[in-house]
Chains A and B, each alone.
Chain A
Amino acid sequence: MPESLSARNIVKRYGGVVALSDGNLDVHTGEVVALIGANGSGKSTMSKVINGVVVLDGGQLLLDNNPVHWSSPQAAKNLGIATVFQELSLIPQMTVAENIWLTREPMTAIGTVNRKVLHEKTEELLSLFRGTYKVDLHPDDPIVSLPSDEKQIIEILKAISFDPWLIILDEATASLDSRQVQRLFELVEDWKEAGKAIIFVSHRMEEIFRIADRYSVLRNGKTVGAGDMKDVSEKELVKLMIEKESVFEYIRKDSKNGENEEKPVCLEVKELQTVTLKGINFSVREGELVGIGGLRGQGQRELLHSLFGDVPYSGTVKLFGNGYKFKHPREAMQIGLALVPGDRGREGLLSIRSILDNLQLPSWPRYGFPLRIKKAKRDAEQVGESLNLKMAGLEEPVSSLSGGNAQKVVLGKWLVRKPKLFLLDDPTKGVDVGTKAEIYSLLTQLCDEGKTILFYSSDDEELIGLCDRVLVLHDGIIRTELSGPSLTKENLISASLGVSNGFHPESRTGGTL
């Protein structure tokens, strides 16, 4: 088993776009290296260089100080390099078991896949995350039917299924809730102990400081710093990443809580029921920023999507004083709603279309006939600037953007329309710290302007830092509402686990939460 892998002076271009100009990375067994950088700085590209998915334009890979060259992902895999891809590498139509073991299926003597062993081995892997699934996963479940966090877990299990020595986790935590992240980190500790090497990519500083031993920072495709985690502070890292002093200020609006009391109610939900939701009641006032918390898959997505007219429901929804029952998102948009969906590739983007087409998709009808393209471009450019979008041009396909920049497009297309009520499903997923801060200030600014925001996040810090109050969903109902002083991490976690505020039954009895 190899002991170390190094990337030296890596150059990688996509057509005219330079993704990496001078990428460097060292990783040794028994350690976790955090690969950090802003959106589009080249982290995923670096991962794909290491696992042989892309062709190098320059530089060298060294395995135990010997130059190696991958001719295909197969070659890297054969030498024990496994990857959790940011955009996942699962075949939707195939089952969990088939996906995990694809290319390494246990075989029978006559050359067929040994389904029994396949089942057993899959069950064994699935048990690693047991308890964090909403409903128990089965080896025969097709991938299409899974929510995004469970897909993410399958992708992780797939990567570790062949006992690699190097595991690349490219934003593997972005879709996971805190409990799942916790489980993953426990596993990472085990792997470390077992002498594996781990490359960890994440935009969550807290996670990085929790798990990583060393760091390596990319900025615009160039490695600008590396070292031991114990030697740096969060501020220093951020500065390396984005060449700016810390932007880390959540703008809490405690002062405003009172103000909002007088504002009119703009959203009122009564007994909303769907397949997963079992009767949701709440109301939101104009200008409020209300968070939705809870573990993944408790109905948050369904709540946002049903409010947006994408999922049928029963119950009543009053918006801006009138009752509505939308049959199509278009109707919701018309009265000023906007939805930023959680799965940007599947629900938010038109991959092969231009950035312009993506930004303007909901707004074309506003540009008359024939469409006033020049004006559309100007508007799109403005949004791009306001979001700090890193792109080669509006005409480039959106697939050429890095994950975080693509996320900005998903958010940006609604800004063009100036909606009144935002429904956000994990809008900062995969977004770098700098941009996150910008998005936060954008959101607070929107609220100041009288817009209302309903905001789900898988990042608890974000909910606490940003929201006026948080509705915590558990098993399809609002279990707890937290606001003001009760809005603490501890309360959020216990409420997420289905524990009512103030009580600490079952597992948490001994804790000091």
Chain B
Amino acid sequence: MKNRITWDFLMTRYPVFFPLVLLVLSVAINLYLQPNMFQLSTLNSNMRVFLPLILLTVGQAIVLIAGGIDISVGGIVSVVNTILATRVGLEGSSELMWQYVLISLLVGALAGAINGFFIAYLRLQPIITTYATSFLYAGFALFILPNPGGGIPSAIASVYRTSTPLSLPLAFYVIAILLLVWAYVSSTRYGKYLFAVGGKAEAAYETAVPVTLVQFSAYVISGFMAALAGIAITMLSGSGNADIGNPMTLNSITAVVIGGNAFSGGIGGVAGPILGAITLSVIQNIISFSHINTWWETLVKATIIVAALAAPGVINLFRRRRA
């Protein structure tokens, strides 16, 4: 009985526990296969690649906490990427870059606001709404940049790619800031509202929580984070491509769930999903370094991910058997 409470306690009160175990495990395997993994240059080159997904995942996590889902985030990433690639250009100045970074963030928030408007105020179902807007955004990105090309000055891109202040990858600082901001936000009243709305919207409404506003804001945050992800991936690739964000959407959702947030809303946080995003990427590395037969790679990777998703359930099943 006591034992059971401890496990459930860990799983429900500390949703970060399991994703942390997964991450440690996968990092250990990766380290075994790639001993120089923690060398600064290797670490940095990995983290800079993971960061866009991490940023996207944070926004997705907040929407999921608030009881929604956002499958238009990839589209928003593409829009931001094409804006930067066409407006700043390969020859642009760093002032111009700053200017369009700000504009991109506004555009991301605006795109999120469009989602939020339809979902919170017109009360449309989130999956199908963001599916529809994902066409709007992806189409808009293609409209801005019909053919891949353009980009940002390589000097600016290399700031992102090579900065390692105090011998730590830039991404670590970004993650630290994200965690700090979340630690703050989740303990504000607004943070409680997010959980309340995701938990049971009717009850929250009867308790005088501004439900629609909170739902709306979650999508704005998600749009904003998608814009940050768009900026990051533009800095990483240095170029523009209207389809750049599309494949990222489903990964962000998987990362959030591996990170321990419930699909039904009202539970979880942001730290778990960040770990989840890193774990997903590390798994890819493991596949690379383990030199399995190419034809098996996709199968093995997918199986590992399914196993990771199912692991808590297997443990629970096993525990219940014993009890």
Asked if B206 CB lies within 8 Å of chain A CBs, one says yes
**Segment among A70-78, A303-311, A422-430, A457-465 that sits at the interface with chain B:** A70-78
Q: How far is the CB of B122 from chain A (nearest CB, A)?
A: 18
Chain A: interface residue total (CB-CB under 8 A):
27
- Write out, one digit per residue, whether chain A residues 83-123 have a CB within 8 A of any chain B CB (1) or not (0): 10100111111100010001101010011110100000000
Q: Could you say which residues of chain B place their CB within 8 Å of the CB of A329?
A: none
- Write out, one digit per residue, whether chain A residues 36-76 have a CB within 8 A of any chain B CB (1) or not (0): 00000000000000000100000000000000000011100
Asked if A142 CB lies within 8 Å of chain B CBs, one says yes
Q: Which of A90, A107, A142, A158 is within 8 Å of B12, CB to CB? A: A142
Given A91-B266, A98-B192, A142-B12, A53 and B206 contact (CB-CB distance below 8 Å): yes
Measured in the bound complex, the distance between the Cα atoms of B214 and A363 in whole Å is 43
Given A102-B192, A103-B189, A111-B188, A73 and B203 contact (CB-CB distance below 8 Å): no
Task: Name which residue of chain A comes closest to B187, CB basis.
Answer: A112
Task: Name which residue of chain B comes closest to A91, CB basis.
Answer: B199
Q: Which of B12, B192, B266 is within 8 Å of A105, CB to CB? A: B192
Measured in the bound complex, the distance between the Cα atoms of B187 and A110 in whole Å is 10
Asked if B178 CB lies within 8 Å of chain A CBs, one says no
**Interface size class of chain B, counting residues whose CB lies under 8 Å from the partner chain:** 20 to 34
- Write out, one digit per residue, whether chain A residues 307-350 have a CB within 8 A of any chain B CB (1) or not (0): 00000000000000000000000000000000000000000000
Measured in the bound complex, the distance between the Cα atoms of B210 and A93 in whole Å is 18
Q: Which of A92, A103, A113, A158 is within 8 Å of B188, CB to CB? A: A113
Measured in the bound complex, the distance between the Cα atoms of B203 and A102 in whole Å is 11
Measured in the bound complex, the distance between the Cα atoms of B1 and A73 in whole Å is 42
Given A91-B200, A92-B199, A113-B187, A103 and B207 contact (CB-CB distance below 8 Å): yes
Q: Could you say which residues of chain A place their CB within 8 Å of the CB of B184?
A: 110, 112
Given A112-B187, A112-B188, A113-B189, A89 and B196 contact (CB-CB distance below 8 Å): no
Asked if B14 CB lies within 8 Å of chain A CBs, one says no
Q: Please tell me if the beta carbons of B266 and A89 are within 8 angstroms of each other in the complex.
A: no
Q: How far is the CB of A152 from chain B (nearest CB, A)?
A: 14
Q: Please tell me if the beta carbons of A94 and B199 are within 8 angstroms of each other in the complex.
A: yes
Measured in the bound complex, the distance between the Cα atoms of B198 and A92 in whole Å is 10
Measured in the bound complex, the distance between the Cα atoms of B192 and A91 in whole Å is 11
In chain A, positions 347-394 with a C-beta closer than 8 Å to chain B are: none
Q: Please tell me if the beta carbons of B206 and A94 are within 8 angstroms of each other in the complex.
A: no
Q: Please tell me if the beta carbons of A89 and B203 are within 8 angstroms of each other in the complex.
A: yes
Measured in the bound complex, the distance between the Cα atoms of B201 and A94 in whole Å is 13
Q: Could you say which residues of chain B place their CB within 8 Å of the CB of A110?
A: 184
Interface centre among A73, A85, A92, A94 (most CB of B within 10 A): A94
Secondary structure dominating the interface of A: loop
In chain B, positions 202-222 with a C-beta closer than 8 Å to chain A are: 202-210
Task: Name which residue of chain A comes closest to B200, CB basis.
Answer: A91
Measured in the bound complex, the distance between the Cα atoms of B205 and A53 in whole Å is 8
Given A91-B200, A92-B200, A93-B266, A85 and B195 contact (CB-CB distance below 8 Å): no
Q: Please tell me if the beta carbons of B209 and A102 are within 8 angstroms of each other in the complex.
A: yes
Asked if B267 CB lies within 8 Å of chain A CBs, one says yes
Q: Which of B192, B202, B208 is within 8 Å of A113, CB to CB? A: B192
Q: Could you say which residues of chain A place their CB within 8 Å of the CB of B203?
A: 88-91
Measured in the bound complex, the distance between the Cα atoms of B299 and A425 in whole Å is 51
Q: Please tell me if the beta carbons of B204 and A73 are within 8 angstroms of each other in the complex.
A: no
Q: Please tell me if the beta carbons of B204 and A74 are within 8 angstroms of each other in the complex.
A: no
Q: Could you say which residues of chain B place their CB within 8 Å of the CB of A92?
A: 199-200, 266
Measured in the bound complex, the distance between the Cα atoms of B207 and A85 in whole Å is 10
Q: Could you say which residues of chain A place their CB within 8 Å of the CB of B187?
A: 112-113, 115
Given A88-B203, A103-B207, A94 and B188 contact (CB-CB distance below 8 Å): no
Q: Please tell me if the beta carbons of B192 and A77 are within 8 angstroms of each other in the complex.
A: no
Measured in the bound complex, the distance between the Cα atoms of B209 and A111 in whole Å is 17
Measured in the bound complex, the distance between the Cα atoms of B200 and A90 in whole Å is 8
Q: Which of A53, A74, A83, A85 is within 8 Å of B210, CB to CB? A: A74
Measured in the bound complex, the distance between the Cα atoms of B207 and A158 in whole Å is 9
Q: Could you say which residues of chain A place their CB within 8 Å of the CB of B210?
A: 74
Measured in the bound complex, the distance between the Cα atoms of B200 and A275 in whole Å is 29
Q: Could you say which residues of chain B place their CB within 8 Å of the CB of A77?
A: 208
Q: Which residues of B contact A (CB under 8 A)?
A: 1, 12, 184, 187-189, 191-193, 195-196, 198-200, 202-210, 266-267
8 A-B pairs closest in CB distance: A91-B199, A89-B206, A93-B266, A74-B208, A112-B187, A89-B203, A93-B199, A73-B208
Q: Give 9 CB contacts A-B under 8 Å.
A: A74-B208, A89-B202, A89-B203, A92-B266, A94-B199, A98-B196, A102-B204, A103-B208, A110-B184
Q: List 4 additional A-B contacts (Cβ < 8 Å) besides A77-B208, A92-B199.
A: A93-B266, A98-B192, A102-B192, A103-B208
